[in-house]
Chain A
Amino acid sequence: MAELSIQHIDKIYDNNVQAVFDFNLDVKDGELIVLVGPSGCGKSTTLRMVAGLEDISAGKLLLDGKDITAAPAKDRDMAMVFQSYALYGHMTIYENMAFSLTLRKENPNVIHKKVLAAAEILGLTSQLNKKPAQLSGGQRQRVAMGRSIVRNPKVFLFDEPLSNLDAKLRGATRREILLLHKRLQATMMYVTHDQTEALTLADRIVCMSMGHVQQVGTPLELYDSPDNIFVASFIGLPPMNFFDVRVDGDKLVGEGFTVGLTPEEQHILQAYNGKVVVLGVRPENIAEGTDVKVDVTNNENLGMNTLVHGHIAGTGNRIVAKLKGWADYKNGDGASFSFKRKHFFDKETTKAIRGDK
């Protein structure tokens, strides 16, 4: 398989719009990297540069140590799966999967073996004589993956492959991709704007915004230790709550509430005593308690959890709490919460405050 090294890559279009700034990443052999970020953040552009579908304006791209920055797409030994499947409607599934190998004039018997093997992996054996129009969206996307598998490429590239599928199918296909990765042990790069996909699939996540890499890390690192406010707000559903608070010794004073700090938190914030910082609290880290009074505006029961939406009492600061179990708050009810786990961010730089840890 393959190691991919993306070194200081920029993308500047002809109209001088820069889409990607100094992208750096080393993808290990067999690793599944997910590029995640909102629309227009440069993740698909980055993937297309890796695939060779976009020119690289600056920087280097190495595959197994070999410089492929200027190599045409066909010589990169990478296979890409697109959101739109890109299947040939007049060909059968078998012919679609065999097409790239037929173009390379490979031995038909070898092609046959590869197609059957890929179809077996993807559970498409019984569909091989059908046309794409006869398959469901999930099956079509599996065909698109099969077309990549038969090529046995060094790197698999996925550009939002599940975006065309409904929620149920998306979940099922996501699990299939994960199983496929485990089975093939292939190096994969996967682009999505869906953080659930990113968290469930990735060995490592690259979180991007406005063309810049915001953080690279494991799903747990991004969720538990976000580097900045953007990552903290992007990863996690519902998103993290943010409040401007002043550090006052052993407590934080916010608009309409005061919460105590543990000795460890005091240590982290010792350089910020007397200053205003941004307090971040994930909805799932909020529980019923006594620290913060909230005016409830909305209550969403999800079965296992309840999302309680409201405002800090007497202020306009919105807050969302994800409480365990079933809760029956109504619009106008008062609630009282405590923050179990807190994240701190510098108000000026938006970077996480982690003390000297």
Chain B
Amino acid sequence: MNLNDERTVRRDRMRFIKNTQSSSLCYLGILFNVFNFVRLYMSDVGNYYYTIVIGVSIVYNLIFMLAVFLASEGVKNYKPGYSYLLAVIGVIQIVRIFIIPVPAHAAETLVNGVETTVMGNGQFMFHVVCLVASAVCLILSAVINFTKCRELAAHMKTLDAQNA
């Protein structure tokens, strides 16, 4: 192994240093999702328009946090399979914009006899930003992990060839 080649050294470091970049992005993805659902569940428009969808959303958020946390541990140890999981979850985060925020933003409901928008512009933008940010973090984490895994695998192959 040529330790004078900075690229080789950078790759070789991966044998001993965990992929904290990807796992940190996962945590950040979870955090943005938490902002998203906390703000959503704080909404009080009386006769709530999407009661059942909100219930499903709660269950999904629990599954989301568990899956992303497990994936964060996986990518920390350069497990390439978790990249696919994170990419899928990232895409779902984008899709979620169209499941609650978009319909709620367009819908109106009666509160004390007054027609009120279920989700105002400010809240709508907040949810969109949170979900997009969460998706970007997860997809970025997946891409970084995938790239690093490939680099590490190639590096290990070189090392094995040298040792053989």
Contacts and interface: CB of A to CB of B under 8 A. Distances in A.
Interface in B1-52: 3, 6, 9-10, 12-13, 15-17
Nearest to B16: A94
A94 B9 CA distance: 15
B16 A108 contact: no
A109 interface: yes
A140 B29 CA distance: 38
Q: Chain B: interface residue count, which band?
A: under 10
Interface in B49-67: none
Contacts of B3: 113, 116
A94 B13 CA distance: 10
A57 interface: no
A134 B10 CA distance: 27
Q: Tell me whether chain A's interface is mostly helix, strand or loop, or mixed.
A: helix
A209 B10 CA distance: 52
A92 interface: yes
B9 A113 contact: yes
A129 B3 CA distance: 19
A108 B13 contact: yes
B16 to A, nearest CB: 4
A15 B16 CA distance: 48
B17 A94 contact: yes
A112 B10 CA distance: 9
A285 to B, nearest CB: 55
Central interface residue in B3, B12, B13, B15, by most chain A CB within 10 Å: B13
B10 A92 contact: no
A128 interface: yes
A266 B115 CA distance: 122
B16 A109 contact: no
A109 B15 contact: no
B9 A92 contact: no
B9 A109 contact: yes
Nearest to A113: B3
A129 to B, nearest CB: 6
25 contacts: A92-B16, A94-B16, A94-B17, A95-B16, A95-B17, A108-B10, A108-B13, A108-B17, A109-B6, A109-B9, A109-B10, A109-B13, A112-B9, A112-B12, A112-B13, A112-B16, A113-B3, A113-B9, A115-B16, A116-B3, A116-B12, A128-B15, A128-B16, A129-B15, A129-B16
Top-7 shortest CB links A-B: A94-B16, A109-B9, A112-B13, A128-B16, A113-B3, A112-B9, A109-B6
Given A95-B17, A108-B17, A112-B13, 7 more contacts: A95-B16, A108-B13, A109-B13, A112-B16, A113-B3, A116-B3, A129-B16
